Amino acid sequence: MRKTWVLMTLFFVVIIGIGWGFSLIYNAPEIIVIAISFSVIMNVVAYWYSDKIVLKMSGARPVTREENRELYTMVENLAITAGLPLPKIYIIHDQSPNAFATGRNKEHAVVAVTTGLLSMLDKNELEGVIAHELSHIGNRDILISTIVVVLVGFITLLSDFFLRMTLFGGGRGDNRGDGRIQFIMIVAGLALAILAPIVATLIQLAISRKREFLADASGALLTRYPEGLASALEKIAAHGGRMKKANHATAHLFISNPFGARAKKGFNRLFLTHPPAEERIKALRNL
């Protein structure tokens, strides 16, 4: 919970910093007021509604025990073993094998899996993946990971908006003033608008990579069969397919990068949210 408050405070400071920079460029103090208001609103939205936003973005739908008794029973048994309340279970209709957990706490948690994952893995492998996701819930990292989706996305959009204003809008300062000062402020605003989403993305990546190794180890301890998850990760990595609704904002939530093999090529390499599958598999088999 402490990390969550640190992240939300950092978001608040970044947004105010962006607003302050552009209020100077445009000589418009009201921009600071707008920035503060938006940062407060987005923090509230991120805390209470980020899980619903993630599910909507992923195209996930809830599943009942009657619809998929085997999956439901598996999640229920593993949740009991982990000492967790039964999370809500969602399915994503996508042939790419993947899964994620979300929610603000263990009492309001969700586990989502793709149809491709259900069709590709055997029972031990699927248990390994479910245990991995339940470990995210038990390790209390689902809230911060879910909040990151909203906050990082908002910082990126806001920075892009200010960047366009700077490039095409011009300043609103006094034309009789020193043009060099105005130029310096515009350059500073451009730098701020460009660096803000980069910093936000670095926060996203740092959180994701650490938690994946931890969830792998915790999931293996939960099932007492590390080979199940290791084998599942091998199959998922070998598939290499891209999810239909792959999104950079939500990529860090999934057990494997939703961009598949494309994640290691071109522009997507800048947004790698997961450790290499080979490293994770090796760590599991060394347990």
pLDDT, tens digit (0-9, with 9 covering 90-100), for 91-127: 999 999 999 999 989 999 999 999 999 999 999 999 9
Residue type, 178: D
Residue 19 tokens, joined? 């607003």
pLDDT of residue 145: 79
With a cut of 50, say whether residue 58 has pLDDT above it: yes
pLDDT of residue 134: 97
Q: Which residues are marked as active site?
A: 133
Q: What's this model's pTM, rounded to 2 decimal places? A: 0.80
**Domain boundaries along the sequence of the chain:** 2-285
With a cut of 90, say whether residue 251 has pLDDT above it: no
pLDDT of residue 249: 77
The dihedral region occupied by 163, where left means phi > 0, alpha psi between -120 and 50, and beta the remainder, is: alpha
> Taking residues 188-202, what's their average pLDDT?
63
Out of 94-103, 209-218, 228-237, least confident range? 209-218
With a cut of 90, say whether residue 206 has pLDDT above it: no
Chain centroid to Cα 61, Å, comes to 19
In which element (H, E) is residue 63 found?
A: none
